[in-house]
Amino acid sequence: MIKKHKENNQLTKVNLKNLDKCFYPDAKVTKGQIVEYYIKMTPKILPVIANRPLVLTRYPNGIKDAESEKTSFFEKNAPVGTPDWVKRYPIYSPSSKRDINYIICNDIDTLIWLANQAALEIHMPFATTDDIDRPDLLFFDVDPEPPATLSDAAEVALQLRDKLRKMSLTPFVKTSGKKGLHVVVPVVPNYSFKVIRGFVHKVGISLAKENNIVVSEFKDTKKPGKVFADYLQNSPMRTMVIPYSLRPTKEATVSTPLEWSEVKKGLNPSDYTLFSVPKRQVNPWKDIFERRFHLEI
Tell me if 36 contacts other proteins by CB under 8 A: yes
Among 27, 54, 94, 108, binds other proteins (CB under 8 A): 108
Q: What angle do CA 180, 42, 48 make, to 5 degrees?
A: 55
Tell me if 236 contacts other proteins by CB under 8 A: no
CA distance 3 to 6: 5
Among 13, 22, 87, 170, binds other proteins (CB under 8 A): 22
Tell me if 8 contacts other proteins by CB under 8 A: yes
Q: Applying CB under 8 A, which part among 61-69, 86-94, 238-246, 247-255 lies near other proteins?
A: 61-69
CA distance 24 to 62: 6
Tell me if 250 contacts other proteins by CB under 8 A: no
Q: Applying CB under 8 A, which part among 2-10, 132-140, 156-164, 167-175 lies near other proteins?
A: 2-10
SS3 sequence, 68-124? CCCCCEEECCCCCCCCCCCEEEEEEECCCCEEEEEEECCCHHHHHHHHHCCCCEEEE
Tell me if 50 contacts other proteins by CB under 8 A: no
Number of Cβ within a 10 Å radius of residue 82: 15
Tell me if 45 contacts other proteins by CB under 8 A: no
CA distance 274 to 251: 8
CA distance 238 to 27: 30
Interacting residues with other proteins (CB under 8 A): 1, 4-5, 8, 11-12, 15-17, 19-20, 22, 25, 32, 35-36, 39-40, 42-43, 46, 61, 64-65, 68-69, 108, 112
